[in-house]
Amino acid sequence: MQRNIETLRREAKTVGDLKRAAYRTLPVREEMRANLIRLLATGERILPGIVGYDDTVIPDIENAILAGHHAVFLGERGQAKSRIIRGLVSLLDEYVPIIRDAEIPEDPFAPISPVGRRLAAERGDNLEIQWAHRDERYAEKLATPDVAVADLIGEVDPIKVAEGRHLSDEETIHYGLIPRTNRGIFAVNELPDLTEKVQVGLFNLMEEKDVQIKGFKIRLPLDIVIVASANPEDYTSRGRIITPLKDRFDVQIRTHYPRSLEHEISIMEQEATAFPRGDSMIHVPQFMKEIIAQVTMEARASNEINQSSGVSVRVSINNLESVLSNAEKRAVRLGEKEIVPRVSDLHALFASTSGKIELEYSGEDKREDDLIDRLVNRAVLKVFDRYFQLEALKPTIAYFTEGGGVKVSDSMAATSYLEDQQRIPGLKESVAALGVGNKSPQIASACEFIFEGLHLHQKLNKEREGGRYMYRS
């Protein structure tokens, strides 16, 4: 029976200490299985912070871990592939013992390297150990064409050869990143970008547990789980990835973008950078969150955008940050204590959307800003229609039909909108229906949303006057 791990870490310094404590090591796959089974039994989430995958991706991940599989995650950019892979570290034990003086992390009961085996033979139960935290047992590599076999697996160390060792001696090897992640998880991002030579070395290591370095066959029975990520288009493209390597990955797990507006908003709120803002309070009305998230969903449905490259969730996150920044500037300049974004702040998301979308066709008649403008208009209109029916806004429309008008701007004080709310029939009731409260910055945001919705329904004209806009019939 294993003793309390914290007590064991303090007291166990050698293999003999581990034996006396009846400590037993598990292979990485069994270790992850055992921890997953414990979480499943208690109903705990295995990847907290991952939104929208509970019924799709997560079950596939659980099956892969229970089966002890190497996995490749296929998905377009911004689908949390890297975050999921890094989250798998939580399924490792918090601490495990490894041989202290070995070149790579090794199980003290079953060393695999020449140095580890020699130390175990020489020292027996006095073999010294150290405790490795789970974060030290994870490594990842971004695949690029310049990544070599030496980087991932190893290379002959010329210094060791110069010291008199023979080239065929395994102890001349300087181990690469994968052996140095033994007893852990190794991840390769953008797998198809590895050269064919490196891919061959990788699948040999995964299946046959050996690799050839400088013409010498080296046996490396690593205890490691290998996971990878790739864009589906690259992964299925003949010539980008060799078939035997695809066969070595036991499962392919397909990720996807959020399938509901609620999930998009949850991710957006969770990931947006939060800065200390002193006494200033941030309030983002629900309809503004929906508009920003809807812009991204409109982009994913647009035939003018190259969907094979994807439209990342980072578009929503960065757009929220940009719109908030524009609202913060106004609050600082006008001395307002509440930061509330409005429709007139949406121009700030043009900069954070450009560059994150790829046009299907670009030319003189195709401008990115025009496309983003259309996406924003579609988003505002769809969100407006969720909240209002035009029939309920007849008194407000009549005010403009009779010659009334109103000015808005992203630099106007929120109090300027209070008069509009009082003098325009039906506007106060419509603002109340949005549930924004009775503070002037929130009322200003609600008023602009209503005016813009009526404009997009062609009930009002919108004319630019310097840095302001005039809504009139």
309 residue type, one letter: S
Q: What is the pTM of this model?
A: 0.88
Beta-strand relationship, 210-213 and 216-219: antiparallel
Buried b (16+ CB within 10 A) or exposed e, 418-446: bebbeebebbbebbeebebbeebbbbbbb
Same domain, 135 and 268: no
Confidence of residue 1 (pLDDT cuts 50, 70, 90): very low
Is the per-residue pLDDT at 2 higher than 50?
no
Mean pLDDT of 6-10: 86
Provide the Cα torsion 336, 341, 342, 347; round to 10°. 120
Is the per-residue pLDDT at 393 higher than 50?
yes
d(CA 396, CA 387): 15
Is the per-residue pLDDT at 168 higher than 70?
no
Same domain, 249 and 267: no
Opening angle at CA 111, ends 105 and 114, nearest 5: 95
What separation in angstroms does the CA of 328 have from each of 280, 281, 341, 343, 456?
A: 9, 10, 8, 14, 26
Mean pLDDT of 104-120: 92
Domain boundary among 254, 287, 316: 254
Residues 178-217 pLDDT 10s: 999 999 999 999 999 999 888 988 887 887 777 666 666 7
pLDDT at residue 451, as a whole number:
96
Contact 440, 417 (CB under 8 A): yes
Short-list 138, 150, 148, CA closest to 226: 138
Same domain, 187 and 217: yes
Same domain, 209 and 345: no
pLDDT at residue 366, as a whole number:
58
Confidence of residue 3 (pLDDT cuts 50, 70, 90): very low
**CA 177 and chain centroid, separation:** 23
pLDDT at residue 166, as a whole number:
66
CATH number at residue 52: 3.40.50.300
Same domain, 377 and 435: yes
Q: What is the mean pLDDT of the chain?
A: 91
Same domain, 100 and 228: yes
Same domain, 52 and 176: yes
Mean pLDDT of 458-464: 93
User: How many domains in the chain?
Assistant: 2
Q: Which residue did the predictor score with more confidence, 375 or 234? A: 375
Contacts of 226 (CB under 8 A, 6+ apart): 70, 178, 185, 186, 187, 188, 202, 206, 249
pLDDT at residue 215, as a whole number:
65
Mean pLDDT of 424-447: 93
Same domain, 315 and 230: no
Q: Which residue did the predictor score with more confidence, 285 or 5? A: 285
Same domain, 204 and 99: yes
Confidence of residue 345 (pLDDT cuts 50, 70, 90): very high
Same domain, 335 and 412: yes
Listed range (93-102, 217-226, 227-236) with the worst mean pLDDT: 217-226
φ, ψ dihedrals at 211, nearest 5° = -155, 150
Residues 270-279 pLDDT 10s: 999 988 888 8
Same domain, 222 and 295: no
Same domain, 224 and 124: yes
What separation in angstroms does the CA of 346 have from each of 322, 350, 447?
A: 9, 8, 15
Provide the terminal-to-terminal Cα distance of the chain, rounded to the nearest Å. Answer: 81
d(CA 25, CA 184): 13
Q: What is the largest CA-CA distance in the chain?
A: 98
Phi-psi region of 209 (alpha: psi -120 to 50; beta: other; left: phi over 0): left
Confidence of residue 19 (pLDDT cuts 50, 70, 90): very high
Range of the domain at 250: 5-254
pLDDT at residue 41, as a whole number:
96
Mean pLDDT of 394-409: 94
Domain boundary among 254, 284, 316: 254
pLDDT at residue 320, as a whole number:
97
Evaluate the CA torsion angle 311, 313, 318, 324 in order and state its sign.
positive
The DSSP H or E segment spanning 406 is: strand 405-408
Compute the radius of gyration of the chain from its Cα atoms: 30
Confidence of residue 162 (pLDDT cuts 50, 70, 90): confident
**CA 188 and chain centroid, separation:** 15
Domain boundary among 254, 285, 302: 254
